[in-house]
Amino acid sequence: MESAERLLKATRPTARNLFYAVDRVLAAVRRVRAAGGSPAEARRTAVAEAEAVAREDTAACVRIGEIGAALVTDGARILTHCNAGWLGFSDWGTALAPLYRARRDGKRFSVWVDETRPRLQGARLTAWELANEGIDFQVIPDNAAGWLMRRGEVDLVIVGSDRIAANGDVANKVGTYEKAVCARANGVPFYVAAPLSTFDAGAATGDDIPIEERDPGEVLLATGPDAEGTMRTVSLAAPGAGARNPAFDVTPADLITGIVTERGILRPHELAGAATGAPRSGA
């Protein structure tokens, strides 16, 4: 179990939710073993705790959708970055949950979907989800968002988060910080949607959040289906080019209008209190 813990946490060092879930399952197993329970009992306990985390995660995302839907108005043009929907959570998602709830409430709006280089989570995942939900959207290059804001074509930005520091600084997919800066410069509200399990009381500021760096090959190459549907990898850069591939960045709290959680929308000055302890998602 401890070997699995180290392996799982090493896969996504920036993602607080992963640490939260792994820690809960491992703590449950340790309680059973400390009480003299058998390995079979420990296995059953691990599965039960994991399922409880999943149920709570779903409930938190549903509530985030209900609360965040109030931010979505008829005719709104909403920008999002990366994928924070059905595919990224047990269900519903975070940044996309308010959109799904608003759509079910009969609101009409459109979404600008950042492509999210280099893995294209927006173009591949968010676009797929929105199409399945019947929500109007268009995929845009990552570096087009600021131009659209300047033209007055973005009314609201909603993104997810991988980890939130005690002072309200937010780590999310790289490129989020740039969107927040552009939003502030153009008077566009910038919201983060995240369950309380994303808050990290052990990180005083965003400088304490570990930022994962991934294979530079993701920047230099692209993989996708050709016209016949065969997956192929092609080079995007000049031969011999090097690259750096930080997977996340940190957005300072003073650039954030509010964080939509399952307990309501928190303002930056309220975040320190929310990050104390390790609240359960959906609690």
162 assigned to active site: yes
How far is Cα 250 from Cα 158, in angstroms, rounded to an integer?
15
Neighbours of 131 (CB within 10 A): 11
**Of residues 162, 169, 200, 249, which has the active-site annotation?**
162
Helix axes 97-104, 39-68, angle to 10 degrees: 60
Could you list the active site residues? Answer: 162
